[in-house]
Structure formats: structure tokens, C-alpha cells
Amino acid sequence: MRLLLSTLALLLAATAAHAAGPKAPEGLSLARKALADAVEKKDVKAFAAMSRFPLVIDVYQMAPKITAKEFGKADIDLMFGGGDEGVLKCLRGDSVAKNDPKADETARRFGKSWYADCDGNNYFFAEKDGRWVFTGYQNVNE
């Protein structure tokens, strides 16, 4: 009976560890919080400094990329719900997932990255030159 209970406990622990997914890399949380601050202030210059352009966009009836030159406050409003409190809280939170570029064509467009899923609004981040930057946005609700 003890062996059975021990085996069951081990299986449950392994399942919980697997369900949690891989641990987010160092620096990603800070980058997400800094981006949320820039979004909240609608600070285009700060936002651009924390981003890698062109941004990859997957939203119905939008261009698939936005260049730094094209990017403005209207894009911040569109992608981040005008600074929606729920989106900002999500960006500042700890929940992220690793993007698998092998999963499908859409995932391939975002490459090796991590994303925050904020109620179907996915915000992608990747490491560039030793720092984490915002790389794209996807709305899976459309």
C-alpha cells in the first residue's frame, strides 16, 4: 500500500511539474513590466526602445508587420486595449508560455519566443543581443 501511495504521489508531482511548463528565462519578467509601464503612459519612444521592429502582427485585417516608422499611439491603443487594466496586470504577471515555432505557420512567424496570453491577446517577447524585447502581437479571438 505504501509503495502504491508513493508511486501515486510521484506521478502527481511529475504531472504538476509538466503542466507548469518550462520556467521563464531571467529578465523576461522585467521586460514585460517595463513594457506595461510604457503602454500605461502611452510612451511611444520608450515602447520602441523595448521592441524589435518590424513587429509581427497576427490580427484580422491588419498588416502582418509594423515598422518603427509606422508605429504610434494608435497601435499601442489597438494592441493593448487602450491601456486596459486587465492587459496591464497580465503583462506584469508571471504567466508566460514558450512559443513552439514548429507547431504551425502562425507560431513559426513569431519564431523562438515567449508570450503572455492575456485573454486571447498574445504578446510575444524574444531575446536580442542579451536583452528581452517585445516582438509581436496576436489576437486569437478573431
**Sequence spans of domains, the chain:** 25-139
115's grid cell: 508570450
Q: Would you identify the CATH topology of the domain 25-139?
A: Nuclear Transport Factor 2; Chain: A, (3.10.450)
Residue type, 27: G
Measured CA distances, 120 to 24, 33, 43, 140 (Å): 19, 19, 24, 5
- Count of CB atoms situated within 10 Å of the CB of 118: 19
Q: If pLDDT is split at 50, 70 and 90, which confidence band does 11 have?
A: very low
Q: What is the pLDDT of residue 142?
A: 78
Residues 6+ apart with CB under 8 A from 30: 132
Residue 10, pLDDT score: 43
Q: Per-residue confidence at 22, pLDDT binned at 50, 70, 90?
A: confident
Q: Contact at 8 Å (CB) between 31 and 135?
A: no
Rounded CA separation 137/102 (Å): 18
Residue found by looking up cell 496576436 in the block: 138
Asked if 124 and 59 count as a contact pair (C-beta separation under 8 A), the reply is no
- What integer pLDDT is reported at residue 106 of this predicted model? 85
8, pLDDT greater than 80: no
Q: What is the pTM of this model?
A: 0.83
Q: State mean pLDDT over 27-36.
A: 96
pLDDT mean across residues, the chain: 87
pLDDT in tens, 76-109: 999 999 999 999 999 999 899 999 999 998 899 9
Percent of the chain with pLDDT over 70: 85
